[in-house]
Structure 1
């Protein structure tokens, strides 16, 4: 059974579950601020559920790649849409600041 590490929590789930659904069912949110209520409800059109994921997850979907390829996102940042990401094993998830979760601090 995979474990999702998110905001100091460990959430167990079944392999194959969608990350967004796992977080919401656990009382967590892949959104920041008003994006919690103003979002596309998992259709990969708004991009507000973008998160950094480290671990075993599915490959990006075509819809996800399209949405993350235009502003405010940058496809080179390595973010994933929680609504399109299937959990395949243990993962660590980080939600960055910004309405879309796109404000990643440079580690340079």
Structure 2
């Protein structure tokens, strides 16, 4: 079973689990500030669950590429949307600052 390292947390999950759901069930700090109350509930449209992922997850979805291609995000930033990722192996997660987790 894959292990996710997020800050001080180690979260064990099943392969192919949705990353956003796993992090939320573990009370991991996926959302910054008000984003915890106004996010899109996993539809991939708000971009507030953007994270840096080191490890194997599924390929980017069409909606994920679309959302990460405009401000405050930018294409090629290396960020992923947790709501659009499925876990394929051990991961290390980094959440950046700012409402959208873009570091801005």
Common fold by TM > 0.5: yes
Partner of 1:24: 24
Where does structure 2 lack aligned partners over 5 or more consecutive residues? none
Partner of 2:85: 85
TM-score by length of 1: 0.93
Where does structure 1 lack aligned partners over 5 or more consecutive residues? none
The size of the alignment, in residue pairs, is 104
Output the aligned Cα RMSD.
0.9
Tell me, yes or no, if the aligned pair for 1:20 and 1:29 is still in contact at 8 Å: no
Tell me, yes or no, if the aligned pair for 2:64 and 2:81 is still in contact at 8 Å: yes
**Following the alignment from structure 1 to structure 2, what is the Cα–Cα distance between the partners of residues 40 and 24?**
14
TM-score by length of 2: 0.97
Partner of 2:73: 73
Q: Which runs of 4+ in 1 moved over 4 A?
A: none
